[in-house]
């Protein structure tokens, strides 16, 4: 009887270990291929991916205790799936390019309407010594934040939520036309600037499409676990709410990609994209651009929320004429986002 019980326990443990790993593969495939096309996977894109690793320690412990060490490889595979494709881990290899010519530093920052105070925000920005600053969700038409930036930058322009501060001359500023969506005119939520930089003329796109937080009923992303546990995340009509919200975000990102694709000069796109790792919208529209984090950094690159971040929403991208030599996340404690910074040079 004992022998039979042990065999049943071993079978159950094998099913558990294989089943957990296979389920992670299923989640990965669903997020990658369904993405924002299905409201369930849309919601899953914005929850902390570390949750997927929760069963692993218990399963690994059971494997060790029962002596079924041959099953440990399943948990190693599970760990790799969670860390790399699901959580977006980037290893520090190969090393980022060493600057070989002129460079400039760009800083992009969603400042949460300046809630923490313009002086503290500007202090964090200027300590990083960027040459160009792109602000999203800034104070309306610049406000006090724009005025304080003017003390450090000769060229400052603001329109609605967007502000640019630059050491380089701004040749053009283009506010994009409204987008028709379900019978209403909606903001494209990006700005275009043409700057005369030491690397030549470059078109900068300051990007901030609509956030999913309202449609997910999550005003603080740390509440996501509670909403999932209680079922409140799926209250009302989540399919309709998320579908409408996602459709508008996709339309705004597609508009950015369309305008940037017409440029005859090098392009840099930066901002709070509201698109996490594995986003299909990002991959379809912006996947052809180089990502500063993936090219010139390592780790997870998370930028939201600023306390215990678990999403990489804030990005700096470029076309093939430019390359990134460094990337950093910073500006702690002055917004619900962290800022992202990159050093850029001409591609050789």
pLDDT digits (tens, 9 = 90+) for 71-116: 999 999 999 999 999 999 999 987 777 787 899 999 999 999 999 9
pLDDT at 225 > cutoff 80? no
Tell me phi and psi for residue 270, to 5 degrees: -150, 155
The predicted pLDDT at position 290 comes to 97
Q: Which residue has the higher pLDDT, 318 or 142?
A: 318
Confidence category of residue 238, pLDDT binned at 50, 70, 90: low
Predicted TM-score (pTM) of this structure:
0.91
Measured between alpha carbons, how far is 235 from 321 in angstroms, rounded to an integer? 47
Could you read off the pLDDT of 138-180 as tens digits, one per residue? 988 889 999 999 999 999 999 999 999 999 999 999 988 899 9
Measured between alpha carbons, how far is 340 from 330 in angstroms, rounded to an integer? 6
**Alpha helices per DSSP H over the chain:** 2-33, 39-45, 55-66, 72-81, 118-127, 143-149, 224-230, 238-261, 280-286, 292-296
Measured between alpha carbons, how far is 184 from 59 in angstroms, rounded to an integer? 52
């Amino acid at each position: 009887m004992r022998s039979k019980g042990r065999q049943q326990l071993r079978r159950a443990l094998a099913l558990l270990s294989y089943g957990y790993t296979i389920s992670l593969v299923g989640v990965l495939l669903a997020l990658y291929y369904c993405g924002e096309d299905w409201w369930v996977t849309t919601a899953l894109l914005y929850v902390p991916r570390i949750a997927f690793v929760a069963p692993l320690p218990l399963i690994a412990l059971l494997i060790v205790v029962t002596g079924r060490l041959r099953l440990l490889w399943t948990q190693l595979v599970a760990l790799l799936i969670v860390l790399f494709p699901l959580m977006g881990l980037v290893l520090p290899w190969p090393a980022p390019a060493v600057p070989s010519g002129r460079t400039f530093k760009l800083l992009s920052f969603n400042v949460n309407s300046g809630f923490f105070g313009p002086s503290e925000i500007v202090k964090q920005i200027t300590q990083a010594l960027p040459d160009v600053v792109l602000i999203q969700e800034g104070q309306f038409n610049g406000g006090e934040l724009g005025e304080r930036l003017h003390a450090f930058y000769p060229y400052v322009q603001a329109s609605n939520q967007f502000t640019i501060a630059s050491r380089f001359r701004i040749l053009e500023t283009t506010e994009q036309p409204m987008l028709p969506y379900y019978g209403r005119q909606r903001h494209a939520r990006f700005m275009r600037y043409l700057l005369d930089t030491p690397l030549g003329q470059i078109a900068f796109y300051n990007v901030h499409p609509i956030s999913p937080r309202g449609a997910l009923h999550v005003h603080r992303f740390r509440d996501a676990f509670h909403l999932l546990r209680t079922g409140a995340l799926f209250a009302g009509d989540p399919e309709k709410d998320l579908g409408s919200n996602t459709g508008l975000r996709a339309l705004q990102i597609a508009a950015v990609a369309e305008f940037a694709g017409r440029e005859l000069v090098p392009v840099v796109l930066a901002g709070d994209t509201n698109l996490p790792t594995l986003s299909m919208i990002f991959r379809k529209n912006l996947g052809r651009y180089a990502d500063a984090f993936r090219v010139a950094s390592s780790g997870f690159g998370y930028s939201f929320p600023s306390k215990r971040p678990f999403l990489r929403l804030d990005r700096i991208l470029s076309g093939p004429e430019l390359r990134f030599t460094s990337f950093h996340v910073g500006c702690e404690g002055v917004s619900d986002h962290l800022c992202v910074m990159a050093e850029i040079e001409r591609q050789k």
